[in-house]
Amino acid sequence: MALTVVGSIAFDSVRTPFGERDRMLGGSAVHFALAASFFTEVRVVGPVGDDFGDDHLAVLSERAIDTDDIEHVPGKTFFWRGHYDHDMNIAHTDDTELNVFADFEPKLSPASCEAQMLFLGNIQPELQRRVRAQSSASFAALDSMNLWIDTARDSLVAAIAEVDCLLLNDAELRMLTGRPNLSQAARATMEMGPSVVVAKRGEYGAVLFTAEATFAIPGLPLEDVRDPTGAGDSFAGGFLGYLDGVRTGGEHDERALRRAMAYGSVLASFNVEDFGTERVQRLTESELAERYDEFRRLTTFEEAPVSSRP
């Protein structure tokens, strides 16, 4: 088992009502890889600049994430600056510098090509397609965002047709398909190619759509949310990492997908408890198991015969 992720490796400067951090390690590939590393072997593909030091690499390698395909190129690492007000469902972008990402041409090593699972983090859809074309993964998943729906819709639709699973915010699924109803939007998305569609809903949780069934999991109401940056990628990392870890053959059965949704929710819930990667970096396996049980307690209710009136 192995899981390759392509996406941004970044420095993030973030301000929320609960504090701020300057140039901390971030990016979709980083958040994803840390989350997935609890379940499977992860290989990260992406470019970094001269300002990316060994201490940053160590955050990944300490979790035994393979960093051989992280390409060091002259220039500066991708940079994002943003802030959140009291509604932490909404990220306000103040600055984005593509830097070394501007000329990124992904080249996967043989080991990364051969990983049986692939995650295409939120980057330009044509780049996602070029990575997909190199990979021999039997299960590929893709994340994207409103920017690409607006500016590169045809490429994005082509990229979606080439993957097995799409993860997207619910508002973006509606935007992609032009259907205000989420179930209809998910079905229309499945007609584009993917057999598995996950609608992410921020603090409200996530919904899984397959041909067979629909599964919904609420978010865990947390007393203390400090920084939601990377929560969606942590969700994807928990989700796909768990699937890759339990995988037998090419099959993902319904029950495994549901447990994977719960692990995705678990990782996202930890991610938001502190800035950037801070919480997931210090996460332990026992905390992981305990929070999974907490999600079970949060959502479990018993069968009940209709106690109808006499």
Kindly state whether residue 263 participates in binding a copy of itself, applying the rule CB under 8 A: yes
Asked if 211 interacts with a copy of itself (CB under 8 A), we say no
The candidate with the shortest Cα–Cα distance to 209, out of 183, 191, 233, is 183
**3-state DSSP assignment of residue 266:** helix
Neighbours of 271 (CB within 10 A): 29
Q: Are 155 and 132 in contact (CB under 8 A)?
A: no
- Residue 69 CB, shortest distance to a copy of itself, in Å, is 19
Q: How far apart are CA 39 and CA 147, in angstroms?
A: 31
Q: CB under 8 A: which stretch of 121-129, 154-162, 242-250, 270-278 binds a copy of itself?
A: 242-250
Taking CB under 8 A as the criterion, the residue among 140, 182, 196, 267 binding a copy of itself is: 182
Q: Which of residues 283-302 bind a copy of itself (CB under 8 A)?
A: 285, 288-289, 292-293, 296-302
CA nearest to 214, candidates 241, 174, 185, 235: 185
Cβ pair 139, 165 in contact under 8 A? yes
Nearest distance from C-beta of residue 247 to a copy of itself, angstroms:
10
Other CB atoms within a 10 A radius of the CB of residue 18 amount to 13
Considering only residues 12-31, where is the footprint of a copy of itself by CB under 8 A? 17
Residue 44 pairs with which residues in a beta bridge? 5
Q: Which stretch binds a copy of itself (CB under 8 A): 122-130, 135-143, 161-169, 219-227?
A: 219-227
Q: Does 309 bind a copy of itself (CB under 8 A)?
A: yes
If you write DSSP's letter for every residue of 215-252 in order, what string do you get? Answer: EEEPPP--S-----TTHHHHHHHHHHHHHHHH-BTTB-
CB of 216 to a copy of itself, least distance (A): 4
Q: Per rule CB under 8 A, is residue 193 in the interface with a copy of itself? A: no
| 242 is a contact residue toward a copy of itself (CB under 8 A) | yes
Among 86, 110, 248, 251, binds a copy of itself (CB under 8 A): 86
Within 104-163, which residues bind a copy of itself (CB under 8 A)? Answer: none
Of the candidates 111, 216, 273, 278, which one interacts with a copy of itself according to CB under 8 A? 216
- Residue 178 within binding range of a copy of itself, rule CB under 8 A: no
Token pair recorded at residue 137: 């993964």
Check residue 207 for interaction with a copy of itself (CB under 8 A).
Answer: yes
- Side by side, the strands of the sheet bearing 92-97 are 19-26, 10-16, 78-83, 92-97
CA-based nearest residue to 202, from 89, 53, 77, 69: 89
Pick out residues in 56-85 that bind a copy of itself (CB under 8 A). Answer: 64
With respect to a copy of itself, which residue has the nearer C-beta, 54 or 285? 285
The dihedral sign for the CA sequence 29, 56, 269, 12 = negative
Q: Which H helix or E strand runs over 56?
A: helix 54-61
Q: Using CB under 8 A, which of 8, 27, 35, 38 touches a copy of itself?
A: 38
| Residue 222 makes contact with a copy of itself by CB under 8 A | yes
Tokens of 101: 């990402």
Q: Find the binder of a copy of itself among 120, 225, 231, 272 (CB under 8 A).
A: 225
Rule CB under 8 A: is residue 32 a binding residue for a copy of itself? no
Which tokens hold the place of 52? 């990316």
Contact residues for a copy of itself, defined by CB under 8 A:
17, 37-41, 64, 86-87, 180-184, 186, 201, 203-205, 207, 209, 213-225, 242, 245-246, 255, 258-259, 261-263, 285, 288-289, 292-293, 296-309
